[in-house]
Amino acid sequence: MTQTQGSLPIYQQITELLIRDIAAGRLIDGERLPPERDMADEMGIAVGTLRKALAELQNRGMLERVQGSGNYIRAVSDPKSLYAMFRLELIAGGGLPTAEVLSVDRVVKDPGLPGFGLSPEGHRIRRLRRLSGQITAVEEIWLDGSYAETIAREDLSESLYLYYRTRLGLRIVRAEDQVGLGAVPDWAPAAFTLEAGTPVPLITRISWAQDGARAETSWTWFDHRVARYVARLK
């Protein structure tokens, strides 16, 4: 984890990563984070840098820090904060973000994906994301086939992040947001091709690492028109 030209400072990247994990349900309320030194070591950053990110989360009320005990996730109740998490603005009222698993399949990797992992196959997880009950995004996650033989749909119901860590020994170490048409992969469904004057979809790319190896594995689209694509999926 380094700060390259034009990118956000490391501590802000960490902050956004954790916020995204909270909003997405990969970090659940009450969950205790690993010790700061462990987290920092795994992320390859200094403890002070991590602490700066954690302090920011505490300011936002998403994290409770207890000396001598640990750092505990505190889910946010204020809907406005959730909107800020997603960088999405909805006109409708409050409501917690939800993630409904649409499908979990072990399939041959789509050739349009960037290369990742060792297996020619991968687990394709499709999730429907709602905010205030309204469909805001569909999320497609690819997990390399070598990590697990099979993945049960029930395993993912509660906390995807927790599943990664406890069952697979994976820990998400970095996440990037990219906005723009160029970042949309070729295999994006036609419904997502942009028209002039329409909002640019927000694309979230999440990467994880184990034993130093890294792979891009997940994209998330946020678009008001995503419902059309979902209708076809179901």
183: helix, strand or coil: helix
Residue-by-residue DSSP string for 58-107:
HHTTSEEEETTTEEEE-----HHHHHHHHT---SS-----EEEEEEEEEE
* Shorter beta-carbon distance to DNA: residue 32 or 153: 32
**Closer to DNA at the Cβ: 70 or 120?**
70
Cα 228–Cα 230–Cα 234 angle in degrees, nearest 5: 125
Q: How far is CA 161 from the centre of its chain?
A: 9
Q: Among 41, 38, 33, 44, which residue's Cα sits nearest to residue 3?
A: 44
By beta-carbon proximity to DNA, the closer residue of 12 and 210 is 12
Instruction: Name the minimum Å distance from CB 159 to DNA.
Output: 19
Q: Map residue 232 onto helix, strand or coil.
A: helix
- What number of other Cβ atoms are within 10 A of residue 79's Cβ? 17
User: Is the CB of residue 11 less than 8 Å from the CB of residue 49?
Assistant: yes
Nearest approach, Cβ of residue 215 and DNA (Å): 22
Binding site for DNA (CB under 7 A): 1, 3, 5, 9-12, 33, 35-37, 44-49, 51-52, 54, 65-71
Minimal distance in Å, beta carbon 141 to DNA? 27
Residue whose CB is less far from DNA, 30 or 133: 30
Q: Which is nearer to DNA, 34 or 79 (CB)?
A: 34
Please identify which residue in the block is written with the tokens 């994301």. 129
What distance, in Å, lies between the first and last C-alpha atoms of the chain?
A: 38
CB 128 within 8 A of CB 138: yes
By C-beta, is 67 or 150 nearer to DNA? 67
